[in-house]
Structure 1
Amino acid sequence: MAIYLEMPELDKDFPFRILVNDGDILTTPHWHREVELIYVTKGTISLGIDDVPYKLREGEIAFIGGGLIHYVLASPGSERLVYQFDLNYFTAGNKENLDLQKLFAELLPISPYWEKKDETAVRSLLEQMNREMENQETGYQFSLKAELFELITRLLRDIPQQAKQPKKINKLATQDVLEKLDGIFSYVEAHYQEVLTLQTIAEITGYSSFYFTKFFKKNTGKTFLTFLNEYRIDKAKWLLINSDLPVSEIITQTGFESDKTFYRLFKSSMAMAPLEYRSTMKIE
């Protein structure tokens, strides 16, 4: 599985799952087409959504729309439930023609920003879903589906929107395109510290350089070089907030051949220097 793109293995007939993660499990920056909720059941966790760091305590919830880059730092002594589901299953026959991906990407992402009654209602639904999944009594999938529809309705009606729109909503594609992209991202994940050329990555995918360029731009909205630079910058941001490595070592570890190029791209991306970013974003 590539770190940049995660492809959860969900049941195609009912694309929904719940994971239990303890505080020693961290997830580096990634995105996926599925919607995700994180419910903290013990302790405190530190996470980031769309480059914004947050801290959640027991009983609090994070909501992550499909396509948004996010991560969770190691938080010893904590525990969290992770809920993932594919919106495509729940939008079939949607006569309102709602763009749920866009609407969900605009919601305030953590429950301390919500009304207390709305946080309580969503928490109650998540707990009930977890009980149904654990017990699996007769008809439990019907109950889960009903609760998921109620959850979607509550999110749409009750959760306030952000004043500022998220910066990164990754394009959602068909499954075969996602699998092809996953192969590309997996290769980049394994080799981003090396010299990577357009011709090399095109050969890996079995495409000509010309066709690969069109395919990649069509399905990601950016050139491969732009993606590779952004990927390396994302790796650098991860190291800045999750390590004490000097910037010179981070530049080497993320595959940049020139310090000047790294500083230019980083400042263009984040509107601040790397050490300022570390000071601003690192969660103690």
Structure 2
Amino acid sequence: MAEKYQQPIEGFSRIVEGNYEIVHFLTGSTIRIWYNQEAQDFSSHWHPAMEIIMPVENIYTVTIHETKFVLNPNDILIIPAGELHHLMAPPCGARLIYMFDFSVISKIKGFSSLLPFLAQPILINQETYPLYYTDHYQLLLKIRDEYFSDNNLREPLIYSHLINFFVHLGRSRINTDMAFPYIHTTKRKDLIEKLNIVFDYLDTHYRENLTLDSVADIAGFSKFHFTRLFKQCSGQNFYDYLCYKRIKSAELLLVHPEITITEIALQSGFSSISTFNRTFKKLKNCTPSEYRALYCANY
């Protein structure tokens, strides 16, 4: 198995400096996949790429914040970009590791409604997604096979499978009782459609001085009803999600050294540089300047 999935170039390994992992994509690519057999632990770290881990042989343990996931073979764990996580490998075993730039997908119209859900770790297996697990598993195998092929079009093909993967995930959430377990299916879809309008609005207007009341009015809900529904649907409260959107915008701007930190704070919707620095540090575990230095040092 290991011989079948040799890296397209030699000398690849995981490199963690402090709590930051340097992600080495192939030249001109934003995807990295490898068949990992290393019996090596990695202390708490983060990286700007989204990561998917799927054990092939033996378990693999991942701790994200204070939540421990003991993954069995063929379990699938999605780790959002920027999340601190700790990896513990067994003495022997193997797993597939997928890393990719999710911003390539997140800019597609319609994906804004999935972003709150995908901002949290997601475990996919026969127990958590019994009706949809096989589809997700098969898509990851297709992605693996494309990556290790000599197909010149493998990058767009892989992203087409990734889009399909996340669309399946979104549909599974809508078509099951996960989002609103106590609401009838017909009304649930209506609520999600209204919330999708909100997510699309936030995707366009997050830089503005938004309030909970004004956004609740857009959805046609009272502030208290909207607060509860937003939390149920996204797993985050409104202001936490708004901060998440603004920090994601700042990450994209920080890769451009000609834009000052103050300009980035204002362009991302923060009213002051101190609020921006404090929020960025809280969510990314480093300052905006440190994030920029880490990115520029590795690209």
Same fold at TM > 0.5: yes
- The CA deviation string for residues 217-255 of structure 1, in whole angstroms up to 9 with x for no partner, is 62451679xx69xxxxxxxxxxxxxxxxxxxxxxxxxxx
Q: Distance in 2 between matches of 1:21 and 1:73?
A: 13
Q: Distance in 1 between matches of 2:67 and 2:256?
A: 28
- Structure 2 residues without counterparts, runs of 5 or longer: 1-15, 180-230, 258-271, 287-299
Bigger shift: 162-171 or 141-150?
162-171
Q: Distance in 2 between matches of 1:8 and 1:15?
A: 10
Q: Please report how far the alpha carbon of residue 43 of structure 1 lies from its aligned counterpart in structure 2 after TM superposition.
A: 0.9
Contact 1:46/1:55 (8 A) holds in 2 = yes
Pick 1 or 2: higher relative contact order, CA cutoff 8 A, min separation 6. 1
2:103 aligns to what? 88
Contact 2:20/2:46 (8 A) holds in 1 = yes
Please give the secondary structure, in 1, of the residue aligned with 2:166. Answer: helix
Q: Distance in 2 between matches of 1:218 and 1:84?
A: 28
1:128 aligns to what? 142
Q: Please report how far the alpha carbon of residue 6 of structure 1 lies from its aligned counterpart in structure 2 after TM superposition.
A: 2.8
1:148 aligned residue (151, 157, 162): 162
1:139 and 2:216 correspond: no
1:174 and 2:251 correspond: yes
1:66 and 2:143 correspond: no
- Structure 1 residues without counterparts, runs of 5 or longer: 181-213, 229-284
Contact 1:23/1:45 (8 A) holds in 2 = no
Contact 1:14/1:89 (8 A) holds in 2 = no
Contact 1:45/1:74 (8 A) holds in 2 = yes
Instruction: Give the share of equivalent positions with the same residue, in percent.
Output: 18
Amino acid at match of 2:251: T
- The CA deviation string for residues 133-171 of structure 1, in whole angstroms up to 9 with x for no partner, is 112235333321221111121122225569794799974
> What's the TM-score once normalised by structure 1's chain length?
0.56
Q: 1:63 to 1:32 in 2, by over 3 A?
A: same
Bigger shift: 39-48 or 67-76?
67-76
| Aligned pairs (5 A) from 1:223-234 | none
Q: Distance in 2 between matches of 1:86 and 1:117?
A: 28
Q: Distance in 2 between matches of 1:107 and 1:117?
A: 20
Amino acid at match of 1:143: L
1:102 aligns to what? 116
Q: Please report how far the alpha carbon of residue 114 of structure 1 lies from its aligned counterpart in structure 2 after TM superposition.
A: 2.2
1:4 and 2:4 correspond: no
Please give the secondary structure, in 2, of the residue aligned with 1:129. Answer: helix
Contact 1:66/1:101 (8 A) holds in 2 = no
Contact 1:50/1:166 (8 A) holds in 2 = no
Q: 1:135 to 1:56 in 2, by over 3 A?
A: same
Q: Distance in 1 between matches of 2:103 and 2:280?
A: 25
CA RMSD, 1 decimal: 3.5
Please give the secondary structure, in 2, of the residue aligned with 1:109. Answer: strand
Q: Please report how far the alpha carbon of residue 99 of structure 1 lies from its aligned counterpart in structure 2 after TM superposition.
A: 5.4
1:243 aligns to what? none
Q: Distance in 1 between matches of 2:37 and 2:256?
A: 29
Q: Distance in 2 between matches of 1:151 and 1:62?
A: 13
Contact 1:23/1:79 (8 A) holds in 2 = yes
1:196 aligns to what? none
> What's the TM-score once normalised by structure 2's chain length?
0.53
1:30 and 2:45 correspond: yes
